[in-house]
Amino acid sequence: MISHPLRYALLAAWIVLLAATPLVADNYTVRIAITVAMYSAMALSWNFIGGFAGYPSFSTAAFFGLGCYAGALAQRNGVPLVLAWALATLFVTAFAVALGAIILRLKGHYFAIGSIAVVEVVRLVISSWGSLTGGGDGLNVPLLEGGPDRVASTVLYVMLAVMLAAFVATVLVDRARLGFGLRCINQNEDAADMVGIDTTRYKIMAYALSALFCGTVGAIYASWVGYIDPTDSFSILLTVKVPVMVLLGGAGTVLGPVVGAGLFVLLEEFFWANFLEWNRAILGGIIVFLIFFLPGGFLKLDYRKLLRRKPTPAKQGGAA
């Protein structure tokens, strides 16, 4: 098992490595670094509700997509770039608080189905409101200033800043009463309510935190790509990928979402490059493997116990 100071040192080294890609690598590698930082921030966000509280939320795509459109519409109406990102973050967080007060009355698979329905409902509203959102034709977003290299490096550093902010929030929640209360809810919500934990308020706070950074990432992503549409912004595949990343690293842990996001993105890029026709099947196999053989993720494995295992010596035949 790796000590906490060493874990944080490894995380710092990982962030430095990602930040250095514009200086030493090509645009393709920088794009991968941006994707890793983006998914790490969203995985850390999902970990509040799905990891700490144990609620299987699939609303990530709704928060991401709303962040895309809120940031894009704000910029198209003359709001400065950074302020547009901030407004998108506040809007998505407020939406999650209002939605959480309703949907968090559901539990288990009912909550999971309800959270998936949220994604589809929001996507249909965005698609139908053509006068505001452009509907199915999509929406053009003001491009960032500078050439491709400068834009890519700017987006990377901003995404890393959001990722770092999400990680700091995770550490603070993990050490605070909120983190303790969410873990109690995960273990036994009825018992937590009986001992005085305000389960409703804690769940809404976790749900809002799971939306906050996704909204920010969505707004930044819209500014990066310059064009958004409902199909891409509210992708069901996105809302499945993020929980898988957290499960890969270790749900409910501080560093698990970062580890899982990095591994998943690198594996996905490898399969796309080498197994174009089979990459979906291979990723599906990874998901099945996680569910059945690695439910706790890599960071919850007891590596010392695995290393202590020794093969049983073969019995010697014959008389002494």
222-261 confidence digits (pLDDT tens): 999 999 999 999 998 899 899 989 988 888 999 999 999 9
% pLDDT > 70, the chain: 90
Tell me the whole-structure pTM to 2 decimals: 0.90
Q: What is the pLDDT of residue 319?
A: 41
Residue 318: pLDDT band (50, 70, 90) is very low
Residue 320: pLDDT band (50, 70, 90) is very low
User: Taking all residues of the chain, what is their mean pLDDT, rounded to a whole number?
Assistant: 88
Rounded mean pLDDT of 3-20? 87
Tokens of 158: 């901003």
Q: What is the pLDDT of residue 1?
A: 46
Strand (E) or helix (H) holding 58: none
State the maximum Cα–Cα separation within the chain, in Å, rounded to a whole number: 92
Q: Is the pLDDT of residue 303 over 60?
A: no
3 state SS of 314: coil
Residue with more model confidence, 18 or 316:
18
187-205 confidence digits (pLDDT tens): 999 999 898 899 999 999 9
Residue 177: pLDDT band (50, 70, 90) is very high
12-29 confidence digits (pLDDT tens): 999 999 999 999 989 999
252-298 confidence digits (pLDDT tens): 999 999 999 999 999 888 877 777 777 778 777 877 777 677 766 66
Polymer length in residues for the chain: 320
3 state SS of 140: strand
Q: Which residues lie below 8 Å from residue 51, measured CB to CB, with a gap of 6+?
A: 246, 251, 252, 253, 256, 257
Tokens of 129: 């409101």
Among candidate residues 236, 213, 232, 203, the one with its CA nearest the CA of residue 58: 236
